[in-house]
Amino acid sequence: MKRRQFLRGGALAALAAPVAAPALADTAPELKWRLTSSFGKSLEVMQGTVQALCKFVAEATDNRFVIQPHLAGELAPGSQALDAVSSGSVECAFTPLAYYAAKDPILVFGSGIPFGLNERQQVAWWQFGGGKDAINGALQRLNVISMPAGVSGTQMGGWFRKELNTVEDLKGLRMRVVGMGGAILQRLGAVTYQMTYVDTLAALENGTLDSAEFVCPHDDERAGFVKFARFNYYPCWWESSGMLHMVVNLDQWNALPKPYQAILARACDAAMTYMRAKYDNLNPPALRKLVAAGAVMKPFPQPVLEACFKATGEHLAEIAGKSIHFKKLLDQVNGYRSDHLAWRQIAEQAYDGFLISATRGKA
């Protein structure tokens, strides 16, 4: 209705002057946004996901709503992408919410806590299990809204110069670990660092680091970790879903025409599937390359996993002791996980388990 009135107005205006540039409809204005990513060029799948997301939005709006992606550091440091959006200096960001735990501890649930939900459970929890409301409720105070826009699935536990055989081996181990995984490994005696992957590679090479985690076989192979530390442990219990978010300034979001909000939301949904599928397509051949290059793929020993699981429970309980808000969500997510593992076990786990045994050595 409004649109038709607008057109009539446009028709009259056209008699007097050339049609103005943004003259289509009030629901389809020309908009240019900037996106700040938490990732640089080295993580090409994350970067490809951001580019796909922006392309999806442009295609759906006939290039009327254009989001220009920027690498980490161009508009804001990777670890402060949300801050830039919160202050309004950039319209949106692609970032892991766990980076911002200092602003509100519950934001780690947006990315996933250690020993938390796997990728499928995390997506279900976000969409239908209360996740969206919990996280966006917390983000409202920061004047932003978020939508999942990427997910990796369970990542790798990192590269070790020596084999890790017992819980004792963690004592004094100098590790590069991101996020809450580091705090938990410290409880078991590890000395953990957060550093860029370039510094990490140098430190592994010169022996000032004993171990480093990065992402998945594809990224790890490209970065060249295997040259300096050949034992590659799994699974990454502190990054079990690897969910990333599109974070949008709330004023900008509210000012968007409803169709643009819908288009952006669906572009994020599609980007999430894109990222997972892209990684799933690249990781298996990368794994083969790594093994050919001398990588030794090893599961963390069961007692090590058990000690980490216990330390995680203690670490989370400590945070919960200081925040009832965090405690409530922790209890809810732990309940969700237990319920969902029962189903996982008789569906995907049973199916994959049989096929892994049936096809072993027959590739």
Which of the residues 249 through 288 are near a copy of itself (CB under 8 A)?
Answer: 257-259, 262-263, 265-267, 269-270, 272-274, 276-278, 280-281, 283-285, 287-288
Which of residues 121, 211, 249, 252 is near a copy of itself by CB under 8 A?
121
Strands 158-160 and 92-95: unpaired
Q: Does position 115 bind a copy of itself by CB under 8 A?
A: yes
In whole angstroms, the minimum distance from the beta carbon of 209 to a copy of itself comes to: 23
In whole angstroms, the minimum distance from the beta carbon of 179 to a copy of itself comes to: 16
Tokens representing residue 122 in the block: 């995390």
Which of residues 178, 217, 249, 252 is near a copy of itself by CB under 8 A?
217
Q: Is 144 left (phi over 0), alpha (psi -120 to 50) or beta?
A: beta
In whole angstroms, the minimum distance from the beta carbon of 111 to a copy of itself comes to: 15
Q: Does position 179 bind a copy of itself by CB under 8 A?
A: no
Radius of gyration of the chain (CA): 23
Helix (H) / strand (E) containing 253: helix 250-255
Q: Does position 215 bind a copy of itself by CB under 8 A?
A: no
Q: Does position 168 bind a copy of itself by CB under 8 A?
A: no
Which of residues 80, 118, 146, 200 is near a copy of itself by CB under 8 A?
118
Contact 243, 127 (CB under 8 A): no
Contact 91, 105 (CB under 8 A): no
Which of the residues 6 through 65 are near a copy of itself (CB under 8 A)?
Answer: 7-8, 10-12, 14-15, 19, 23-25, 27-28, 56, 59-62
Residue type, 282: L
Q: Does position 292 bind a copy of itself by CB under 8 A?
A: no
In whole angstroms, the minimum distance from the beta carbon of 203 to a copy of itself comes to: 25
Nearer to a copy of itself by C-beta: 41 or 258? 258
Nearer to a copy of itself by C-beta: 194 or 349? 349
Nearer to a copy of itself by C-beta: 33 or 126? 126
Closest C-alpha among 148, 92, 94, 96 to residue 125? 148
Burial class (CB in 10 A: 0-12, 13-18, 19+), 198: exposed
Nearer to a copy of itself by C-beta: 100 or 279? 279
Which of the residues 298 through 337 are near a copy of itself (CB under 8 A)?
Answer: 299, 302, 305-306, 309, 335, 337
Count of residues in the chain: 363
For 290-319, b where at least 16 C-beta lie within 10 A, e where not — what string?
A: beeeebeeeebbeebbebbeebbeebbeeb
Closest C-alpha among 308, 107, 117 to residue 213? 308
In whole angstroms, the minimum distance from the beta carbon of 199 to a copy of itself comes to: 26
In whole angstroms, the minimum distance from the beta carbon of 148 to a copy of itself comes to: 9
Alpha-carbon distance of 141 to 70, in angstroms, equals 25
Contact 106, 136 (CB under 8 A): no
In whole angstroms, the minimum distance from the beta carbon of 298 to a copy of itself comes to: 9
In whole angstroms, the minimum distance from the beta carbon of 348 to a copy of itself comes to: 5
Contact 175, 185 (CB under 8 A): yes
Which of residues 153, 158, 179, 181 is near a copy of itself by CB under 8 A?
153
Which of the residues 189 through 208 are near a copy of itself (CB under 8 A)?
Answer: none
